[in-house]
Amino acid sequence: MPGRTHSTADRAPAEKGIPCRLQPGEVWQDEQSGHRVGLGDATDFDFVSRLTEDKPITLAVQDPPYNVAMFPRKSVEQYIAWCRNWVENTLHVLAENSSLYIWMGADQKRHFQPLPQFMIMMAEFDLQSRSLITMRNQRGYGTSSNWMAVRQELMYYTRGKAPFAVQYTDIPKILRGYYKTVGGRRTENLERSHSNCIRPGNVWVDIQQVFYRMQENIQTLRAQKPLKAIERVVQASSRGSDTVLDLFAHAGTTLLACERLGRRCITADIEPMCVELTIRRLEHYRETGHTGWQQDDPLQYQPIGNNTLTETLTQG
């Protein structure tokens, strides 16, 4: 799997242990921005219904384990059956006009499973396929006997008339002299454009992923997605105070992106430690403005109290 290199860190997070403020099935409610964070299974219909309160979701960003390296591997058939469950749960709460983004891996040692099987499975659903985005992972595996694995795939689907706002990278436009006549006058490329920078298109080469050098790093976790990528998706495919769903929270990147962009986030993870870190990351951000702990141990962090994050809703 393209991503961060692994060692003993490949253990499931739960093995490393950290007390989580939630019991399985519970949902934590944030009073300040209305976010919700649950400890539960994405394939459990009742849990997802209760987590989302069956309110319509404008955007879902799902980043499941890829059946590749870091989590216990299933047969591809089992994996696809498992995916079908959480996709159905997601579609149950997706609004009439909405977007669904899914990160997925391809195992180059096993005929690129499960990406092709997953794509075929997705054709069962009444969704429009819109884009297959490849994000360049700036780190990748440093092999000299194969092409370096630096890709991460992101599928984009829509239902109805989903909102979309064009995004730009920080890469300046360099193509000059492309003339077009507008209103009888020959204009230069840059003169007509909305930005001096290029758009990301569906190949994203501008997203730094050398995490240990970045403030957003969450040392304890190994499958964190870059905040910049998630913010790009949230900005492109949601508006105002729309609600965004992520059933595989891990490091809470979608929650943090939503907090920074004024969206409401509903998120969950099956691992207690991931849920606790997801909430702590938000608390830490509100206290310090920092997006993560870089080289510091997030497990040592204790919120300094008096935060507005309170209520825990129990099951049922």
| Residues at the contact surface with ligand SAM, assessed by CB under 6 A | 41-43, 63-65, 223-225, 247-248, 250-251, 253, 269-271, 274
Nearer to ligand SAM, 5 or 187 (CB): 5
Residue 121, CA distances (Å) to 87, 142, 152 in order: 10, 33, 19
Nearer to ligand SAM, 4 or 264 (CB): 4
Nearer to ligand SAM, 67 or 98 (CB): 67
Nearer to ligand SAM, 20 or 270 (CB): 270
Residues 260 and 65: their CA atoms lie apart, in Å, by 25
Nearer to ligand SAM, 61 or 94 (CB): 61
Residues 274 and 220: their CA atoms lie apart, in Å, by 10
Cα–chain-centroid distance for residue 235?
13
Shortest approach of ligand SAM to residue 250 CB, angstroms? 3
Residues 248 and 265: their CA atoms lie apart, in Å, by 12
Nearer to ligand SAM, 250 or 264 (CB): 250
Query: Residue 21: CB partners within 8 Å, gap ≥ 6?
Result: 28, 276, 279, 312
Nearer to ligand SAM, 25 or 173 (CB): 25
Write the DSSP assignment of 143-203 as a string of letters.
-SSS----EEEEEEEEESS--------SPBP------EEETTEEE-HHHH-S-SB---TTE
Shortest approach of ligand SAM to residue 24 CB, angstroms? 11
Residues 131 and 202: their CA atoms lie apart, in Å, by 7
Nearer to ligand SAM, 23 or 128 (CB): 23
Nearer to ligand SAM, 217 or 243 (CB): 217
Asked if 92 and 49 touch (Cβ cutoff 8 Å), the reply is yes
Strands 113-114 and 106-107: antiparallel
Shortest approach of ligand SAM to residue 90 CB, angstroms? 12
- Find where tokens 């990160």 sit: 103
> 313 forms bridges with which residues in the sheet?
27
Shortest approach of ligand SAM to residue 127 CB, angstroms? 20
Phi-psi region at 204: left, alpha or beta (left = phi > 0; alpha = psi -120 to 50): beta
Rounded to 5 degrees, φ, ψ at 73 are -90, 140
Residue type for position 160: G
Residue type for position 104: M
Shortest approach of ligand SAM to residue 92 CB, angstroms? 15
